Amino acid sequence: MADRNILIDQTMINDFKHFGSIMTKVKHRQVDKSYEIYMALYQGLTGSEEWQNIYKQFSPDFFDLVIVDECHRGSAKEDSAWREVLEYFSSATQIGLTATPKETKDVSNIEYFGEPIYTYSLRQGIADGFLAPYKVIRVSIDKDVEGWRPTKGQIDQYGFEIEDKEYNLSDFDRNLVLQKRTQLVAEKVTEYLQKTNRFQKAIVFCIDIEHAERMRQALNNLNADLVKENHKYIMRITGDNEEGKAELDNFIDPYSKYPVIATTSKLLTTGVDAQTTKLIVLDTVINSMTEFKQIIGRGTRIREDCDKFYFTIIDFRNATRLFADPSFDGEPVQVYEPKEDEDIVPPEIDYTDIDDHGDYETSSTDEDLPVGREKLGDQKPAKYYVNNVEVKVLNQRVQYLDRDGKLITESLKDYTRKNIKEEFASIDDFIKKWNSAEKKQVIIDELRENGVFFEELQEEVGKDFDAFDLICHVAFDMPPFNP
């Protein structure tokens, strides 16, 4: 049982495909009892009317095993209709699966399912090579940090007088739109793609549907060459957009080239198995640790056959402050904060609520005037739109985190020297192992896993150093040479 069609469909197509003809999906409130494995939405089994509770067409002991995906949702609530289904089939063994368990005074996974019988952390998954490590680029925008207040009587681009107050990060794109801020975010995302790979799968998380549409338009304009080749290069995939939702399967298909970039709000936060996603852009306010973990999870799959070994997060809303929360497990390997005149691409590290509702839908006419705006008259609009406020990127700070996710406070050279000497007591030990290794890359990969930032050190001490020279020079103070 699950709460979203995408969770059911991708399971049937992928992990459960081998069950073939003995498996079915319950739909249209019709039950066929000739199958052995049933996939079903909670919503498709229950309803406000008794006739809609089709799960009762099965006998209470019909099932031997019930698996509940995303069990932190409805099944965690004692008074939910979903709980009724589980209690009806109480004789079956029941397994609840979730990446984000909930324990509050109103919602509890443990109260129903009991203490977890198995847990596997993000950090452990990365260490074991099953999940992808990631780095973070933090972009601080001046108006986000300093706030913005309109002048007395200032009107927005549609003629509405802007309410006089201090607008800040939580207001932008929710209550007030700074058009040039949207443009700046789109420029930075495009800059990153142009300097890395313009065909890496990317998800841009926005405040709401209207924001996702504006972001799509801004990215379209900046990537007009690729959009001209295929209009599906950038798609808005939101709950109201049938064209975009129709492309969801292609977006998550590792072997489908298009769409490349998806702008969204909530639709892709949970359960969507986008295995080749290499870039996650956060331009939405995130205060929930559950939501944060779900979004990060969109990038953690490794696909070696598609050259997907790690992913990158570009954070425009300081959402990655949640890494500091004790309940987060699996911090980034690198945090980079570029300022206005610096490259968006950091020094490289090599690694071998279900519905999506916004304030407005958008119209392709009337200069993309949101539907309903012209009918507001003197009423206060849901959003003000301001197109003449300049915005810019502020400061830069580069941070490195060690293999335990802790901030490195000493110099990168000193930190590297200490790590290498933990592995090799002397230069003779190192050279001996280097010369005896059939594949030198194995030693390099081991050192990377232990926190050696090869590319960053090359930037610092000289790009002409290869890996062998770099280790000898940084750890053992030797001049460059290569046997």
Q: Which domain holds residue 238?
A: 125-398
pLDDT classification of 468: cutoffs 50, 70, 90: confident
Report the percentage of the chain scoring pLDDT > 90.
Answer: 30
Q: Does residue 375 have a pLDDT over 80? A: no
pLDDT classification of 357: cutoffs 50, 70, 90: very low
Q: What is the pLDDT of residues 17-54, one digit of tens each?
A: 999 999 999 988 888 999 999 999 888 888 878 888 89
404 assigned to some structural domain: no
Q: What is the pLDDT of residues 208-235, one digit of tens each?
A: 999 999 999 999 999 999 999 999 999 9
Q: What is the pLDDT of residues 196-206, one digit of tens each?
A: 899 999 999 99
Q: Taking the CA atoms of 99, 104, 106 and 110 in sequence, report the sign of the dihedral they define.
A: positive
Domain boundary among 342, 373, 398: 398
Whether 105 and 163 share a structural domain: no
Q: Does residue 246 have a pLDDT over 80? A: yes
Domain boundary among 398, 424, 440: 398
pLDDT classification of 236: cutoffs 50, 70, 90: very high
Residue 210 pLDDT? 93
Compute the distance between CA of residue 276 and CA of residue 265 in angstroms, rounded to an integer: 19
86 assigned to some structural domain: yes
Q: Average pLDDT over the chain, rounded to whole?
A: 80
- Report strand pairing: 334-337 vs 397-400: antiparallel
Whether 81 and 154 share a structural domain: no
Residue 328 pLDDT? 65
Q: What is the pLDDT of residues 306-351, one digit of tens each?
A: 888 888 889 999 888 877 766 666 555 556 567 677 777 765 544 4
Residue 373 pLDDT? 47
CB proximity list for 34: less than 8 A, separation 6 or greater? none
Compute the distance between CA of residue 225 and CA of residue 227 in angstroms, rounded to an integer: 6
Half-sphere exposure of 265 (CA within 13 A, CB side): 23
Whether 68 and 112 share a structural domain: yes
Q: What is the pLDDT of residues 87-119, one digit of tens each?
A: 999 999 999 888 777 666 666 777 778 888 888
Residue 359 pLDDT? 30
Which of 347-360 are b and which e, b meaning 16 or more Cβ less than 10 Å from the residue's Cβ? bebebeeeebebbb
Whether 267 and 143 share a structural domain: yes
Whether 135 and 267 share a structural domain: yes
Mean pLDDT value of segment 164-171? 92
403 assigned to some structural domain: no
Whether 181 and 155 share a structural domain: yes
How many Å from the N-terminal Cα to the C-terminal Cα in the chain? Answer: 60
380 phi/psi in degrees, rounded to 5: -70, 125
Give the CATH number, domain containing residue 207: 3.40.50.300
Residue 185 pLDDT? 95
220 assigned to some structural domain: yes
405 assigned to some structural domain: no
Whether 131 and 114 share a structural domain: no
321 assigned to some structural domain: yes
481 assigned to some structural domain: no
Helix crossing, 440-449 with 412-423: angle to 10°?
120
Least confident range from 8-17, 101-110, 381-390, 419-428: namely: 101-110
Whether 349 and 456 share a structural domain: no
Which of the two residues, 106 and 14, has the higher pLDDT score? 14
Mean pLDDT value of segment 127-133? 78
Least confident range from 28-42, 135-149, 161-175, 285-299: namely: 285-299
Q: How many domains does the chain have?
A: 3
Q: Does residue 370 have a pLDDT over 50? A: no
Domain boundary among 67, 93, 119: 119
Which of 369-404 are b and which e, b meaning 16 or more Cβ less than 10 Å from the residue's Cβ? ebeebeeeeeeebbbbbbeeeebebbebeeebbebe
Whether 111 and 129 share a structural domain: no
Q: Does residue 400 have a pLDDT over 70? A: no
Which of the two residues, 451 and 195, has the higher pLDDT score? 195
CA angle centred on 156, ends 153 and 159, rounded to 5° = 85
Q: Does residue 476 have a pLDDT over 80? A: yes
Mean pLDDT value of segment 276-293? 86
Whether 27 and 62 share a structural domain: yes
Which of the two residues, 191 and 398, has the higher pLDDT score? 191
Mean pLDDT value of segment 247-255? 85
- Predicted TM-score (pTM) above 0.85: no
Whether 202 and 309 share a structural domain: yes
pLDDT classification of 165: cutoffs 50, 70, 90: very high
pLDDT classification of 242: cutoffs 50, 70, 90: confident
Residue 350 pLDDT? 44
52 assigned to some structural domain: yes
Residue 111 pLDDT? 76
Residue 347 pLDDT? 58
Which of the two residues, 138 and 106, has the higher pLDDT score? 138
Q: Helix %, strand %, coil % for the chain, to 5? A: 35, 15, 45
Among 185-199, 263-277, 376-390, the range with the most confident prediction by mean pLDDT is: 185-199
Whether 349 and 422 share a structural domain: no
